[in-house]
Structure 1
Amino acid sequence: MHLIKRNYIRQILSMLIYLFLIFWSMALIASPLRQEIRQFIDEMVAQHGFNQSKLEDIFNRVQFQPTIIDLISVPASSIPWNKYRARFINPQRIKSGVNFWNEHAQKLEQASQVFGVPAEIIVAIIGVETAYGTTTGKHRVIDTLTTLAFDFPRRADFFKNELEQYLLLAQEQNFDLFSIRGSYAGAIGFPQFMPGSYRRYAIDFDGDGKTDLASNATDAIGSVANYLKEYGWEAGGPTIARAHIPIGSNHYQEILLAGIEPIHPVKKLRAANIIPLEKTGDERLAALIELKDDDTLQYWLGFQNFYVITRYNRSTFYAMSVLQLAEAIRAARNSSLR
């Protein structure tokens, strides 16, 4: 008898919860748009000629995602270089990189010829970003960008601009903006381009009339190469050179603090007791890069092409991972072709 009563009460509670969720969802759908979203819609109509009622329909369908705020608010963990490196330079990532290269060898060669960017660099960037297109993100981009534009004040201006770019991109590419999924920051496709970068640097590299970074590896290959070229990639130029700083030297600190932009002639670095361990022209511009392992320090000279990779991601760890993954993939592929 008590068991029957408990089951009955449980059924009633379940029904009440179900009804509550239905009415709560209906209330959300029926609720008026927030004032700041209405203002954004007005701006899109005035500046770009969007249809106001269509934009209202879009934003009434958007689902704000509080978990996105949690994800993007997590501070970057300070881990040593060797542990960061291990995330990307490992047997599986190298093997998958060789497979990706072999599958797209013709288009990678074409991209290298057109843009002057080595195939292994293109492959490695896609490998670090999304494991060659296998982990491109699960969040609806329209939900992500709207959430960050209006509920993340610290970077609201940046994400509001990216939301604007995304709406323009969907209009230009004629895709369903509710169908595209990406990272928790709104980055899209194989190369994880933000919408603004997508509009500026993505290209239709296979000539099918569409620029598709979400599912077209060929377009992604051409777009990564184009991005790097537009940021100043120097065809045939060096990327990095290992350097040595003798114990007791302290003049290097000022150069290290100057940042990662290559603004120092190598002869100036030599004068500061920063000694390249590879043949390097005295007039070539470089920056001093420091990588911290658990208990050691590595020093490198970063040249123009290293700096260009940091325009993709501002982290020196990221750029170095791309370069070392690229080197490992090329070596593994060359070995397999012998």
Structure 2
Amino acid sequence: MRLPVILVPLAFALAACATGATAPPPTAANPPPSPAVSTAPAASAEGLLPKIPQPPERPVAPPSVTDPAIPLPQRIDAFVDYTAQAYGVDPQAIRAALAQAEYKQSIIDAISRPAEKVRPWRDYRPIFMNDARIAGGKAFYADNRVALDRITASTGVPAQYIVAIIGVETSYGKITGNYRVLDALYTLAFWHPKRAPFFAGELAQLFALAKEEPQLDVLALKGSYAGAMGMGQFMPSSYRNWAKDGDGDGRRDLLDHKPDVFASIANYFVVHGWQRGGPVVARATRGAQAADFAPEGLDPVYPLPMLAARGYAPQPGEPTAEGATLLSLDGEAGKEYWLGYGNFYVITRYNHSPMYALAVHQLAQAIGGNGAP
């Protein structure tokens, strides 16, 4: 999905925990008319590092469910059969819930409207890097320090990054969405053909989730217009795959139960490759003769010597790692160059926008008292 990442935190909800959902790339609004952009070699090219292993892609619904040429009643029948067979859910329970699902034009409008524009970094950064958001994060961390630090000790994911994710996604739990998750996924599964396979897959996962977590009422769950829910805005498949019971009470409640929320966000990072104690980013310098360089993806597959040969190197005193990707952003004082390391890539698995990941990093640094480089 391409959502307008320039709006409110809830605009990140789908990509936040649905790795197939992609936010608009932060391309420069007015790139300088300098050397031609060189295209990065494929990840398999000689000299590049291996990509960070990732979990399998989440399953999508079959064409019998998502082909808009098929009449809606037949697609719903196919969906019931698919969900019942794939996840062992009672077909009558699925039908009963779908009978109460409502189509919402406002959801189609929200997900279909083109972004007015993709804001450059200089405009995007202040949405999250401001006094209120930083103060709120510090207060949230102070109020929950024992639980957060316990998760950090067990997973290696710094507490301030968990807090920053919650701050960016839902303003520390204040804005978690007012749409029924059932309505959101039902609407997008059957009236949004472009992404119907994904959303119908998530609708099926919602029923599977309710079977596994019976405390969740499918008819009452509220979330974003894309179907993400809770303080960390998990999609149903992310909830099923990576949610954790953080306090041993026998259930995984990501709506507002903080022990589970903290453990689950940390686990999301871990399963996507977080390295304990590893660096996230480094400011980079660009050599005077360096050509523009636009990597094909965010994978940190470029050895630092290879990037240095292209004219891009960490600034003095910045952290280093074996491999990185290069970010070129339009900052307040002009072009900014950043090297994104493995842990930066992991943050982009929560939301595929590199500006989102950099905002999370800088907010985390400010919450942790390390400034905002």
**TM, length-normalised to structure 2:** 0.77
Matches within 5 A, 1:53-132: 53-76=92-115, 77-132=117-172
CA contact (8 A) 2:94 2:207 kept: no
> Tell me, what secondary structure is at the counterpart of 2:282?
strand
Task: Give CA deviations for 1:102-140 in whole Å, capped at 9, x if unaligned.
Answer: 111011111101110111111101100101111000000
> Tell me, what secondary structure is at the counterpart of 2:297?
coil
Matches within 5 A, 1:62-211: 62-76=101-115, 77-174=117-214, 175-211=216-252
Alpha-carbon distance change, 219 to 167 in structure 1, aligned in 2, over 3 angstroms: same
Q: What is the identity, as a one-letter code, of the residue corresponding to 1:160?
A: A
> Tell me, what secondary structure is at the counterpart of 1:331?
coil
Q: What is the identity, as a one-letter code, of the residue corresponding to 2:99?
A: N
Larger Cα-atom Rg: 1
Matches within 5 A, 1:1-338: 34-76=73-115, 77-174=117-214, 175-250=216-291, 252-253=292-293, 256-279=294-317, 284-293=322-331, 296-331=334-369
Measure how far apart 1:202 and its partner are. 0.6
Which segments of 5 or more consecutive residues in structure 2 lack a partner in the other structure?
1-70
Task: Give CA deviations for 1:187-222 in whole Å, capped at 9, x if unaligned.
Answer: 010100110001111101011111011111221111
> Tell me, what secondary structure is at the counterpart of 1:210?
coil
> Tell me, what secondary structure is at the counterpart of 1:177?
coil
> Tell me, what secondary structure is at the counterpart of 2:352?
coil
Measure how far apart 1:241 and its partner are. 0.7
Measure how far apart 1:317 and its partner are. 0.5
Alpha-carbon distance change, 94 to 37 in structure 1, aligned in 2, over 3 angstroms: same
Task: Give CA deviations for 1:157-189 in whole Å, capped at 9, x if unaligned.
Answer: 000110111110011100211111000110010
Percent identical pairs in the alignment equals 43
CA contact (8 A) 2:302 2:325 kept: yes
Q: What is the identity, as a one-letter code, of the residue corresponding to 1:152?
A: H
Measure how far apart 1:94 and its partner are. 0.8
CA contact (8 A) 1:289 1:299 kept: yes
> Tell me, what secondary structure is at the counterpart of 2:85?
helix
CA distance in 2, matches of 1:283, 1:48: 42
Alpha-carbon distance change, 311 to 153 in structure 1, aligned in 2, over 3 angstroms: same
CA distance in 1, matches of 2:337, 2:93: 55
More displaced 10-residue stretch of structure 1: 72-81 or 192-201 = 72-81
CA distance in 1, matches of 2:98, 2:172: 32
Number of residue equivalences: 299
> Tell me, what secondary structure is at the counterpart of 1:227?
helix
Measure how far apart 1:281 and its partner are. 8.1
CA contact (8 A) 2:162 2:266 kept: yes
CA contact (8 A) 1:137 1:183 kept: yes
Measure how far apart 1:283 and its partner are. 6.7
> Tell me, what secondary structure is at the counterpart of 1:292?
strand
Q: What is the identity, as a one-letter code, of the residue corresponding to 2:111?
A: I
CA contact (8 A) 2:279 2:320 kept: no
> Tell me, what secondary structure is at the counterpart of 1:241?
strand
- Considering fraction of residues, name the structure with more helix: 1
CA distance in 1, matches of 2:245, 2:156: 18
> Tell me, what secondary structure is at the counterpart of 1:92?
helix
CA contact (8 A) 2:282 2:320 kept: no
CA contact (8 A) 1:149 1:163 kept: yes
> Tell me, what secondary structure is at the counterpart of 1:34?
helix
